[in-house]
Structure 1
């Protein structure tokens, strides 16, 4: 099998099939990535014995000839778009939710002798817990230790599935030997406690996977390339697969007939270390493991795990790997490969690593993307040209305003952006302090504004008069949320900052009365020198000098408060986080939320939930938990709660009879995801 390039779309479950049959939305999704230039398209997990061993009834099936037409339609469409198609095949084993829901015991090498720490679920809402439980009908798994008959049946099912894939004119099959699925749990010694020929030494634990590979090879010969997905390492639990074991297993897989090895990773407890694997937060997370495995093989090696283009290019050039799999990046921008090919690097819309897409798999639902509203709705593209060009004034240069300006211009409107601050980004600029991945999106927006030659007027407050002077046909109000000071006693003291005053301090626009003399001058110095226009500079500089008191209390543990608490603790401050509710980190996606809480605790943040704030004094914050009273020293108090949607400009425009729409946090507080999606809903129809 020969591909156009070294870019691979790895398996990302879309959950849009109907009872195992591939439907048009799934075809549209993969064709968009093929047309975008990915050399190899790997489908999401497809169940070899569907519905047995399936994680979802929305998962493609491989267990019956009736599934061949759907596979064939997908293969033909991907080929027509210029790419090759690989079907990922799996049996989910002990995580087969369909089996659990239907009272079938799940297959396993043996019954697990451990349970997971699920304390992170304290930060999942009742609705999230209900939706997670619905995938298994609220039932608990029971286990069936696989017999010789079960093993021979599994091998036969896999070979049958491969034959159907070949009949559908697909190009490759990926055999999944990772992520806690059946072949993966046989491979590691923590799950596999068998004493027969399938347990014990690594060669025995790899035996079942090798027998599957051999059976598939014998059945399809050279009709399909055989990829094998293996964890280079497992994280979070003693006895998980190690890199030396992964190397040995990969060698055995090559001997059994594998044509390529796809190196991933697995965080064994999804509620504790999902962001270690299979969806890592670290850039190039599994590159070193993949490079080490490649040293011991003669077949190609694919690396996955936030393989950003610049990382991938260097790794392939250095001979560390042969292919780079880019999953979430290709969800964010399906045209990434073509843009790289054409040298349009700054036009690649980045994934911001927010985990909103993959969080939907916990709910057996279809992924969506914070930055790409067309994910799962590929029929929205190409953008519909405007029926008549208008001059649209966009007020606010945050993500909602910038996305509105970009899409309106692409559709043929003339756009002018107004913002009262001295830089693009709005609250998103400030968020890059605690969330560096947001800076990638900010850089992309800046490049798009420049490419599309959109008129931007900074340091320009928007009024009815300024808008009338611009002869606007329509106005998009994207002025963001408001963050008032707290209304409990002491909320107006000078040591109390809100998100707005803290941002003004960092941007150099705060008064000495608002921010205190030292902090105000830090901001003004930064503004005058231009240094604070670099978020990376501020992130690094504040690790060495952050002129604020040692003790900080953050009130409000939602997205902003939680990330800010960690940011300050990482910079040596004693941080107390007070939250009036139970769940921290809302509306962060669950995996990222769980990790953010864990990381904050690891950095020493003292977290208190379900509190009532009594008062703030010049030196302390006092609160109540249940019947007990507490206090914490506070040279600074950051009020990170009370964020409210408000658009006072909209009221003035309505009174003046000027046509307008409200988007982003000015209409409803939903951060970057809400900003971009709400903008699309309005500006794609204007």
Structure 2
């Protein structure tokens, strides 16, 4: 797979360009062409109520400049149709008060806000339903990635299901939302009726495309009758399900033509959770935007495109200017940096924390019933607390930070921004720490190198004194009031270390190389060696490889290893012969350990918490907040 992620330093996105011009959806005028795509955060309460965390999350993103926020999947059927975890509820009038608070917060920041009405259908588990019932679907027994065979929806139940969407729309308008979006994408209930893979019905609700489209069209018509002509109605759909028997692109485009006279905009994606890598791409940007352009050629209403487009804003300026699409949606990008739009408009694209697309947010947290986190944004979900952490300090201190990896950089930037006198040292000749190793293979090279460049730029603009080529253990710590040791981890084996090899970009001379280890680093090392033309074997002592990363990244990297001809062996013993690169779990560094008193001198980052990038950024930021 060729990696073609562009350099964001080339993104100029001029202030007077098409993306920053007002746009219209129905009778709603937006301040620009940027839309925050609905991303499931689990920031609602356990019982689906809007709370302060959810409000502050959206307030920050509205303040960051988007024209429209579409909130995450909002449940119209809590008993059978809510997604796993903590979705927002709109299935009863009692939830209107919290929803109104959310609307008000977004409006106060100058943005518009739309609700997204949602029903899981078969993409649910029996254990997640209120009475431990099977989920429902157009056709019985066709399981999804969530694993529970659904029961078939009886024809007499269909009017009641339609009414759930109608009542959700009624409550949304009453709460003050500017628009209503129906979630027909990603394999949920509306899309299940449309798809020939999940709809095998023989009544009026299945069979031909017209019959499979009937349920969605009846929902659209009923919701329109409820909200009237002045409230914009959006429809989100997957234009194609890229697997055998799924919705074809031809049928998807024909369905868009059916929707065209009934809705005010189409929000275009692809795939479902059986093909999660399609709808949550980890590959180069723009893999989904072609669907939006294809839809735009067939309809008259505005079209919203999505798919890692923050890397392609110059291309999106042209696409919007040329009428190939109308709005650009930012999803995971808004988790990583809520100020993406504002920074871009100010001509500062290099100051954007750009999403790495490693899908920790989705696969590590959301899929496991946890509130969404971001590996490069410690403030996500803690926006108010982070704002308080950035306030100037009452007493200025001299702060030494040893180690300029992500944890050290986060700590240095925050401490300096708060007014401390900060010195950051590292024995290497460039900042980045283990990020420099992880950027060696092509898989996430552009993204990780961009993160290193982001830290370099922010340090240059800060008051941090940066000293490279300086070993921490050569310093007299008495000169500082506070010392943070962010020296990371070290290998446990005396052989060739994978992190060292990747950082130095120096492959062994042998043609045949074995990587031994169960870690993500082992996968990176094997991939990089294969890219250098080495005949590479990856051996894991466990029954899996990449055990410290999320399922989606592991699957993605495994696919790349297979493409590059890497042989993978599981449950293996350490090799006794040949050239071996060691990538087993590492242990905390011991640099200056005698000075650590957990008061004036303390450890941070992976040296303190273990883990990987998320633990590093979190620890660095929040430790600096306490100084």
Which residue of 51, 76, 81 maps to 2:109? 81
Are 1:368 and 2:368 matched, yes or no?
no
CA–CA distance in 2 between the matches of 1:280 and 1:502?
25
Once the two structures are superposed, what CA deviation does each residue of 1:226-281 show, in whole Å capped at 9, x if it has no partner?
Answer: 1111112223x2012222222111111112x1111111122452xxx422224554
Distance 1:153 1:596, change over 3 A: same
Are 1:4 and 2:22 matched, yes or no?
no
CA–CA distance in 2 between the matches of 1:320 and 1:206?
26
Once the two structures are superposed, what CA deviation does each residue of 1:545-604 show, in whole Å capped at 9, x if it has no partner?
Answer: x77433110000211001221232344332211111123213212221232223323432
Residue pair 1:475, 1:661 contacting (<8 A) in 2 also: yes
Are 1:307 and 2:335 matched, yes or no?
no
Residue pair 1:398, 1:425 contacting (<8 A) in 2 also: yes
Tell me the SS of whatever aligns to 1:43.
Answer: strand
Which residue of 47, 60, 69 maps to 1:19? 47
Residue pair 2:438, 2:524 contacting (<8 A) in 1 also: no
Residue pair 1:109, 1:194 contacting (<8 A) in 2 also: yes
Where does residue 32 of structure 1 map in the other structure?
60
Residue pair 1:11, 1:45 contacting (<8 A) in 2 also: yes
Distance 1:279 1:63, change over 3 A: farther
Which residue of 583, 598, 608 maps to 2:569? 608
CA–CA distance in 1 between the matches of 2:188 and 2:282?
18
CA–CA distance in 2 between the matches of 1:178 and 1:308?
21
Are 1:637 and 2:580 matched, yes or no?
yes
Which residue of 557, 560, 568 maps to 2:521? 560
Are 1:241 and 2:247 matched, yes or no?
yes
Distance 1:49 1:442, change over 3 A: same
Where does residue 499 of structure 1 map in the other structure?
498
Are 1:459 and 2:469 matched, yes or no?
yes
Once the two structures are superposed, what CA deviation does each residue of 1:136-171 show, in whole Å capped at 9, x if it has no partner?
Answer: 9xxx63432222222111111111111111111111
Residue pair 1:177, 1:228 contacting (<8 A) in 2 also: yes
CA–CA distance in 2 between the matches of 1:447 and 1:87?
37
**Which structure's CA Rg is the greater one?**
1
Tell me the SS of whatever aligns to 1:230.
Answer: strand
Q: Output aligned runs, 1:106-125, within 5 Å.
A: 106-113=135-142
Distance 1:248 1:71, change over 3 A: same
Q: Output aligned runs, 1:158-557, within 5 Å.
A: 158-235=165-242, 237-255=243-261, 257-269=262-274, 273-311=275-313, 312-359=316-363, 360-382=365-387, 383-434=390-441, 435-436=444-445, 437-465=447-475, 467-468=477-478, 471-486=479-494, 496-503=495-502, 505-506=504-505, 548-557=509-518
Once the two structures are superposed, what CA deviation does each residue of 1:42-85 show, in whole Å capped at 9, x if it has no partner?
Answer: 11101112233112462222221111111111111111121111
The offset of 1:99, in angstroms, is 5.4
Tell me the SS of whatever aligns to 1:421.
Answer: coil
CA–CA distance in 1 between the matches of 2:74 and 2:185?
14
Please, what TM-score do these two structures have when normalized by structure 1? 0.82
CA–CA distance in 1 between the matches of 2:427 and 2:48?
53
The offset of 1:500, in angstroms, is 4.8
Where does residue 592 of structure 2 map in the other structure?
649
The answer to which of 11-20 and 324-333 deviates more is 11-20
CA–CA distance in 2 between the matches of 1:239 and 1:593?
27
CA–CA distance in 2 between the matches of 1:648 and 1:334?
36
The offset of 1:457, in angstroms, is 1.3
Once the two structures are superposed, what CA deviation does each residue of 1:98-127 show, in whole Å capped at 9, x if it has no partner?
Answer: 6546322322111245776xxxxxxxxxxx
Tell me the SS of whatever aligns to 1:198.
Answer: coil
Distance 1:67 1:465, change over 3 A: closer
The offset of 1:203, in angstroms, is 2.2
Residue pair 2:437, 2:500 contacting (<8 A) in 1 also: no
- Gap regions ≥5 residues in structure 1: 117-135, 487-495, 507-518, 520-545, 621-635
Distance 1:329 1:404, change over 3 A: same
Once the two structures are superposed, what CA deviation does each residue of 1:322-365 show, in whole Å capped at 9, x if it has no partner?
Answer: 11111111111111111112222221112122212112221222
Distance 1:114 1:42, change over 3 A: closer
Where does residue 534 of structure 1 map in the other structure?
none
Instruction: Give the count of matched residue pairs.
Output: 590
The offset of 1:504, in angstroms, is 6.0
Residue pair 1:51, 1:57 contacting (<8 A) in 2 also: no
Tell me the SS of whatever aligns to 1:299.
Answer: coil
Once the two structures are superposed, what CA deviation does each residue of 1:271-325 show, in whole Å capped at 9, x if it has no partner?
Answer: xx42222455431121111111111111111111211153333432333221111
CA–CA distance in 1 between the matches of 2:65 and 2:235?
23
CA–CA distance in 1 between the matches of 2:105 and 2:500?
53
CA–CA distance in 1 between the matches of 2:331 and 2:590?
37
The answer to which of 42-51 and 601-610 deviates more is 601-610
Tell me the SS of whatever aligns to 1:552.
Answer: strand
Tell me the SS of whatever aligns to 1:457.
Answer: strand
CA–CA distance in 1 between the matches of 2:599 and 2:475?
11
Where does residue 129 of structure 1 map in the other structure?
none
Distance 1:56 1:314, change over 3 A: same
Residue pair 1:483, 1:498 contacting (<8 A) in 2 also: yes
Tell me the SS of whatever aligns to 1:189.
Answer: coil
The answer to which of 457-466 and 222-231 deviates more is 457-466
CA–CA distance in 2 between the matches of 1:315 and 1:374?
32
Distance 1:654 1:71, change over 3 A: closer
CA–CA distance in 2 between the matches of 1:568 and 1:314?
39
Distance 1:167 1:324, change over 3 A: same
Residue pair 2:437, 2:499 contacting (<8 A) in 1 also: no
CA–CA distance in 2 between the matches of 1:297 and 1:654?
65
